[in-house]
Structure 1
Amino acid sequence: GSFECTKCDPPVSFSLKNKQLILQHNGAHILFDPSINRSDQPCGLCLRPFPVCNFVLTSGQGTDSARQVNWKLSSCLRQLSFSMAAAMKWSLKSPCTNYLIFCPLRCGLVIWTYNIEAHYRSPRHGLASLTNTPIPYTMAAQESAGMMEIYQNRRVQPQPRNIKQKSQPPLITSDRHS
């Protein structure tokens, strides 16, 4: 299967095998696309506004498992299961850290981390100052730069990553067999 970005023209398609690329691409739209109204708190998967698209999180199975999306109770049209643990980790190759969290102000809603500032400022909370909030909304300069690069290159069709083969020692043949 594949995922097609609804904001890009011409459309950009992604393999459903690399879900982090989809989160990165949409995260770049959320952060830098002037056609996106950030106060709408757009979804990291489908870019539709909150509350049209909302999520319910449940505890994962097992003692060390992360929270998971309850797709039966969530309204996102793009029911794309992804690893919250992977989405939380920043790296040079994968700079996006947009993932779902429970509202730190305990309003009971689940929000995307890239929407924290808009959520804090929303009529639900109406915070004018964000200095004393439980989770800061500022983004590290490296993440912002990496996401800007993704946004600037958003129309480039993503290529599948080369998976390195385990290196095999060279096959040694005796002179009698050559």
Structure 2
Amino acid sequence: MLSKPSDYIDVGFKLELEEGLKKLFNSTAIIKMVPKGTIILRQGEMPTSLYYIHKGIVRGYYIDDAGNDVTKCFACETEFACAEGLLRSGESSFSIESLEDCICVIIPYDSIKQGMKKSNQMKVIFDNYIKKILVNTLNREKALLIKNALDRYIEFTKEHSSLESRINQAYIASYIGVRASSLSRIKRGMKIE
């Protein structure tokens, strides 16, 4: 039975957190049920905490000058959301909303920074996470710059196979850089071939 913040992290990462990290997380982090449709962070707000997603999906998105939202990223089980504040200070450049009911461990940035000063294990966890973000960003940038919409959709289905049936198709279309109607045509064309 998972009852403490450290329990969720142990299970998600399939590791045993060092005792000092357990104490730190259990004294500063909270476990929270986040209902579907909740805005976790608004573009322009100051982020203060990292969200570890135990269950559910969240979507990061930008709001353009015309008020439209453009999907930036998705995060689901065993992933983090709201990491931008760890990488740079200032207001959030995008919003984050829950697409499903989520169970999250909310960890204040100060606790993470404190843990990184004291624990090599914490440094390794976040170094690996930052590398994953960088690789995903580089792959997405390459896809948007040189691949056609069909190839971007196929790549999305390979990289996010467990998410496709759980996410609104309009968000997937936005993520791969097409309109929802174009994604429908792409999917119809794939069924014909």
**What TM-score, normalized by structure 2, do the two folds share?**
0.26
- Structure 1 or 2: more strand by fraction: 2
Structure number with greater Rg is 1
- Structure 1 or 2: more helix by fraction: 2
**What TM-score, normalized by structure 1, do the two folds share?**
0.28
